[in-house]
Structure 1
Amino acid sequence: MPQSALLVMDVQNIIVERYADQAYVSRLRGAVEAARAADHPVVHVTVGFRPGRAEIHPRNKMFGALAGRASSPQEEWANAIHPDVTPLPLEPVVVKRRVSAFAGSDLDMVLRSQGIGHLVLAGIATSGVVLSTVRQAADLDYGLTVLSDACADADPEVHRVLTERVFPQQAAVTTAHEWVAGLQR
């Protein structure tokens, strides 16, 4: 079985504030702690841009409104990883430039350099980073597991359809509790 890594994606303060509740953060924290205890690498993925946002084109529907704008001091807190899942000093933090964890980032290099062949995905939003990363990671031949309750989305029905109908075509789907129990065996 290839080495597995837990990807904690887009769990930044501003995103948690919009999409998740404390129960979500607690489940995710439990998965992160269990991965660490089992010596599974934890890789944090954030969305971010350079000052001036040179990598954003105005016609990009999701990020275009940010094109050319200077960042503000408040953005430091907003874009920081939520304190309940703060990376440990040697855990990689990968900055992506679009929706998929692989888009504009060095994630694939980080994973392959560590011999990672299986990804356990958690993050916000199910219909954003999780969906895009499942698709791209499958195309890159990674084995995949999605922690359904360690993903969150603004639309519960979209979350349900993705985790019950779409993701199982390319990934194992389980809960954080079931995954943690499997690590502890």
Structure 2
Amino acid sequence: MAKSAFLVMDVQRTIVERFGDDPGYLPRLRRAIDAARAAGIPVIYVVVGFRPGYPEISPRNKTFGQIAARASAGGGFTDERATEVHPDVAPRPEDVIVTKKRVSAFAGSDLDMVLRAAGIDSLVLTGIATSGVVLSTLRQAADLDFALTVLADGCLDSDAEVHRVLTEKVFPRQADVVTIDEWIKTA
């Protein structure tokens, strides 16, 4: 029998503020998190964060190099507020919080170790952005032989068409893609 974990990825206060044009997102995600807990499925939060000075970031890294450059002007992902999960979907004390250093939830984190130690072989993916953490994590998790479910409306992207193509055409090759309501019925 599969043992699942529910991943809430990059739903940090500062990231939600940048993707905040869907007022229904956090309440939908909260319902899914509550359903996972009610079904006894562990909830794991994945956040992106770095040490002060960004020693983990190479200037050759196009995505994260820009973050490090902006951080020198006063922003970034090194302080508590930047790495804080949005309070509307905040973790409970029993939840695991994993800090990653790249786009995939597995890259530069101990996520795989946490999952293997708990005997987890199936993942439910949610997060911001569909074309970022969700895509990268899905690809790596599939290569690690996890069974996968993506909650399409539990993911956000700044480009609605990219979100649609990923959830309707790309993700179904490696995952079951369902809505939160559909998933809650089976959780």
What corresponds to 1:17 in structure 2? 17
The residue type paired with residue 12 of structure 2 is Q
Within the candidate set 132, 139, 143, 1:139 is matched to 143
The residue type paired with residue 66 of structure 2 is A
Q: Structure 1 residue 88 and structure 2 residue 88: aligned?
A: no
Within the candidate set 115, 118, 126, 2:119 is matched to 115
Decide whether the 8 Å contact of 1:7 with 1:43 is kept in 2.
yes
Within the candidate set 127, 133, 138, 1:129 is matched to 133
What corresponds to 2:176 in structure 1? 172
Q: Distance in 2 between matches of 1:103 and 1:5?
A: 18
TM-score in terms of structure 1 length: 0.94
Question: How many Å apart are 1:22 and its aligned residue?
Answer: 2.4
Instruction: Describe how 1:1-185 pairs up with structure 2 within 5 A.
Output: 1-20=1-20, 21-67=22-68, 75-183=79-187
Moved more, 99-108 or 21-30: 21-30
Q: What is the Cα-based RMSD across aligned positions, in Å?
A: 1.7
Q: Distance in 2 between matches of 1:84 and 1:116?
A: 26
**Helix, strand or coil for the counterpart of 1:119?**
strand
Q: Distance in 2 between matches of 1:144 and 1:72?
A: 34
Question: How many Å apart are 1:72 and its aligned residue?
Answer: 6.1
TM-score in terms of structure 2 length: 0.93
Question: How many Å apart are 1:51 and its aligned residue?
Answer: 1.4
Moved more, 23-32 or 62-71: 62-71
1:159/1:66 CA distance change after superposition, 3 Å: closer
Structure 1: tracts of 5 or more residues without a match = none
What's the % identity of the aligned pairs?
63
**Helix, strand or coil for the counterpart of 1:63?**
helix
The residue type paired with residue 11 of structure 1 is V
**Helix, strand or coil for the counterpart of 1:62?**
helix
